[in-house]
């Protein structure tokens, strides 16, 4: 959870996250394209051993799944999945910009952004209390 006490603070954070996410999308898109070229070249040569993988083995290490000798196809799938996930994060961040307008318009004292893996998934809004 991340707390913001002004619309400017929220906007600054969101803009930084958008820039970082766009850069990450670019990097992983390039990696996916590289894997796609490798896959296409191997497929063109009909090298089934390299396409399907030799000695593929999956293990559990420290609670993680570890794939030994992954195929080019699997690596392509991973990069494409990362790009899709980053796109979802970018879309959520873009929608979050409207929260800054809401904060300003509604006299909000604090907004708490609930995040999951850096992706905004919800908000808690605290309005300024009326003095009596």
Question: Going residue by residue through the chain (132 aa), what tens digit of pLDDT does each one get?
Answer: 999 998 889 899 999 999 999 999 999 999 999 988 887 877 655 555 555 555 566 777 777 777 777 777 788 888 899 999 999 999 999 999 888 887 777 778 888 999 998 899 998 988 877 665
Residue 7: Cβ within 10 Å count? 18
**What pLDDT is stored for residue 69 in this prediction?**
74
Question: Going by C-beta distance under 8 Å and a sequence separation of 6 or more, which residues neighbour residue 1?
Answer: 112, 113, 114, 115, 124
Q: How many whole angstroms separate alpha carbon 41 and alpha carbon 37?
A: 6
**What pLDDT is stored for residue 99 in this prediction?**
80
Which tokens go with 122? 């919800």
Closest CA to 79 of 27, 41, 42: 27
Helix then strand count (H, E) for the chain reads 3, 5
**What pLDDT is stored for residue 54 in this prediction?**
55
**What pLDDT is stored for residue 26 in this prediction?**
96
> Per residue in 74-83, pLDDT tens?
888 888 999 9
**What pLDDT is stored for residue 76 in this prediction?**
84
**What pLDDT is stored for residue 41 in this prediction?**
78
**What pLDDT is stored for residue 47 in this prediction?**
56
Q: How many whole angstroms separate alpha carbon 79 and alpha carbon 29?
A: 7
């Amino acid at each position: 959870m991340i707390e913001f006490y002004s619309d400017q603070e929220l906007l600054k954070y969101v803009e930084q996250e958008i820039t970082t996410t766009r850069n990450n999308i670019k990097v992983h898109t390039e990696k996916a394209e590289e894997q796609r070229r490798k896959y296409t070249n191997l497929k063109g040569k009909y090298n089934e051993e390299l396409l399907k993988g030799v000695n593929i083995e999956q293990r559990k290490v420290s609670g993680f799944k570890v794939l030994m000798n992954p195929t080019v196809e699997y690596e392509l799938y991973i990069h494409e999945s990362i790009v899709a996930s980053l796109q979802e994060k970018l879309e959520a961040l873009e929608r979050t910009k409207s929260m800054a307008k809401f904060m300003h318009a509604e006299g909000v004292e604090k907004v708490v952004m609930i995040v999951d893996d850096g992706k905004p998934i919800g908000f808690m809004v605290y309005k300024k209390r009326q003095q009596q």
